[in-house]
Amino acid sequence: MEFLEAREQTVLTAQREDLKQLMQKLLGEGMDSRSVARKLSALRQFYRYLLLDKLIAHDPTLDIDSPKQWKVLPKALSEEEVGALMEAPSKRGGDGGGGTKVAQSPFAQALALRDRAIVEVLYAAAMRVSEVVTVRVEDTKLDAGYMLVRGKGDKERMVPLGGPAQRALAAYLKSARPRLAGGKSAPELFLARGGHALTRERIWMIVELASRAAGRHASPHMLRHSAATHMVSHGADLRTVQTVLGHADIGTTQIYTHVALERLQTVYKDHHPRAKARARQTRTLKDESR
Residue-wise pLDDT for 74-83, tens only, equals: 678 888 999 9
> What is the distance between the alpha carbons of residues 58 and 277, in angstroms, rounded to a whole number?
62
Q: What is the mean pLDDT of residues 43-54?
A: 94
- Tens digits of residue pLDDT in 229-281: 899 888 888 899 999 999 988 888 888 877 766 666 777 788 788 776 655 55
- Tens digits of residue pLDDT in 189-237: 999 988 999 999 999 999 999 998 888 889 999 999 999 989 988 888 8
Q: What is the pLDDT of residue 98?
A: 40
Q: What is the pLDDT of residue 40?
A: 93
Percent of the chain with pLDDT over 70: 86
Task: Tell me whether residue 49 is one of the annotated catalytic residues.
Answer: no
Element (H, E) at 147: strand 146-150
Task: Tell me whether residue 146 is one of the annotated catalytic residues.
Answer: no
With cut-offs at 50, 70 and 90, classify the pLDDT of residue 50. Answer: very high
Q: What is the pLDDT of residue 101?
A: 47
- Tens digits of residue pLDDT in 130-161: 999 999 999 999 999 999 998 888 889 999 99
Task: Tell me whether residue 152 is one of the annotated catalytic residues.
Answer: yes
Task: Tell me whether residue 224 is one of the annotated catalytic residues.
Answer: yes
Q: What domains can be seen in the chain, in order of their start residue?
A: 2-52 (no CATH), 79-260 (1.10.443.10)
With cut-offs at 50, 70 and 90, classify the pLDDT of residue 34. Answer: confident
Cβ 141 vs Cβ 193: under 8 Å: no
Exactly one of 47, 123, 172, 256 is catalytic; which is it?
Answer: 256
- Tens digits of residue pLDDT in 7-29: 999 999 999 999 999 998 998 88
Across the chain, mean pLDDT equals: 85
Exactly one of 92, 114, 128, 225 is catalytic; which is it?
Answer: 128
Most confident range (mean pLDDT) of 29-33, 103-107, 127-131 is 127-131
Please list, residue by residue across 60-92, b when 16 or more beta carbons sit within 10 angstroms of its beta carbon and e when fewer do: bbeebeebeeeeeeeebbeeebbebbbebbbeb
Under DSSP, is residue 42 helix (H, G, I), strand (E, B) or coil? helix
Distance of CA 5 to the CA centre of its chain: 44
What single-letter DSSP state applies at residue 172? I
Exactly one of 179, 212, 216, 221 is catalytic; which is it?
Answer: 221
Q: What is the pLDDT of residue 103?
A: 57
Tell me the helix, strand and coil percentages in the chain, rounded to 5: 60, 5, 35
> What is the distance between the alpha carbons of residues 109 and 117, in angstroms, rounded to a whole number?
12
Task: Tell me whether residue 25 is one of the annotated catalytic residues.
Answer: no
Distance of CA 150 to the CA centre of its chain: 17
Cβ 171 vs Cβ 123: under 8 Å: no
Task: Tell me whether residue 174 is one of the annotated catalytic residues.
Answer: no
Per the model's pLDDT, the better-predicted residue between 91 and 234 turns out to be 234
Exactly one of 152, 174, 193, 272 is catalytic; which is it?
Answer: 152
> Is the model's pLDDT at 95 over the cut of 50?
no
Q: What is the pLDDT of residue 274?
A: 76
Exactly one of 92, 114, 224, 225 is catalytic; which is it?
Answer: 224
